[in-house]
Chains A and B, each alone.
Chain A
Amino acid sequence: AQSVTQLGSHVSVSEGALVLLRCNYSSSVPPYLFWYVQYPNQGLQLLLKYTSAATLVKGINGFEAEFKKSETSFHLTKPSAHMSDAAEYFCAVRPFSGGYNKLIFGAGTRLAVHP
């Protein structure tokens, strides 16, 4: 079965520092991949998705993610953290086959940004 591992349940960075949130998936066939963000007491908002058109995917709010098939990874980065980036981030995969668009989520990483 497909699974998603997010390394680090909590990540803390200083404002202006690089943000790196890690995501690894388990699949012999690269699935479709997503990053979602959740602000306090809100639903999930799509940050970006891997479409197979390019391995480096740009999303909203200055975030990007790189798909690396050899490492089965899809890590999320942002060059310079902003206080407003404090939120919980979820990596998700959708199996390549099957019509239901069922998303499988990682456990989430809570990002804290300090002044």
Chain B
Amino acid sequence: DVKVTQSSRYLVKRTGEKVFLECVQDMDHENMFWYRQDPGLGLRLIYFSYDVKMKEKGDIPEGYSVSREKKERFSLILESASTNQTSMYLCASSPLLLQGKNTEAFFGQGTRLTVV
């Protein structure tokens, strides 16, 4: 089974702190994603990566950065945490899209971050 593991289930951080959310996948997937989930808004893409050291902005990248130094690990960084970044963060991975093959994304358990 594909496993996507997020390092923390729950985090409480103070405003202004630098926060690291870690995600590791064990299926050698090329693509990795960070989503943010808020009630009534569904999942919104923050950043994604399609290869080591490669990254692309998603729909809501402001206030976030990412790092992918190894294929299996994708980190989300909140440079200076703010209360409006209190949310559920979900990491996902997927294989590279192949022509005609519909590949889904596999999700971690989520990290519920509270910024106080």
A and B associate? yes
Residues of A within 8 A of B (CB): 6, 9, 32, 34, 36, 41-46, 49-52, 90, 94, 98-108
Determine how close the nearest CB of chain B comes to the CB of A48; give it in whole angstroms.
Answer: 10
Query: Is B42 in contact with A99, judged by CB distance below 8 angstroms?
Result: no
Q: Are B48 and A100 in contact (CB under 8 A)?
A: yes
A25 to chain B, nearest CB (A): 13
In the bound assembly, the distance between CA atoms of A52 and B101 in angstroms comes to: 10
- Residues of chain B in range 83-116 having any CB-CB distance to chain A below 8 Å: 90, 92, 94-97, 102-110, 112
Is A41 a contact partner of B42 (Cβ separation < 8 A)?
A: no
Known: A43-B4, A107-B41. 6 other contacts (CB 8 A): A43-B108, A43-B110, A46-B104, A50-B102, A101-B95, A106-B42
B110 touches A32 (CB 8 A): no
Bound complex: CA A9 to CA B40 (Å): 7
Closest to A44 in B: B107
**Min C-beta distance of A32 to chain B, whole Å:** 4
Contact: A101 with B94, CB < 8 Å?
Answer: yes
The yes or no answer to B45 lying at the interface (CB within 8 A) is yes
Given A100-B31, A102-B33, A94:B41 Cβ within 8 A:
no
* Smallest CB gap from B93: residue in A: A101
CA distance A34 to B40 in the complex (A): 19
Which residues in chain B, 40-97, are within 8 Å of chain A measured between CB atoms? 40-45, 48, 50, 56, 58, 90, 92, 94-97
B42 touches A103 (CB 8 A): no
The answer on a CB contact under 8 Å between A100 and B50 is yes
In the complex formed, the residue of B with least CB distance to A46 is: B104
- Docked pose: A101 CA to B95 CA in angstroms: 8
Question: Is A45 in contact with B97, judged by CB distance below 8 angstroms?
Answer: no
A82 to B110, CA, bound (A): 25
Given contacts A9-B40, A108-B42, contact A99 B104 (CB under 8 A): no
Complex Cα–Cα for A45 and B108 (A): 9
A90 touches B42 (CB 8 A): yes
Q: Collect the chain A residues with CB atoms within 8 Å of residue B105's CB.
A: 101, 103
CB distance from B77 to the nearest CB of A (A): 20
For A101, list chain B residues within 8 Å (CB): 31, 94-97, 103, 105
Which residues of B lie under 8 Å from residue A99 when comparing CB positions? 50, 96-97
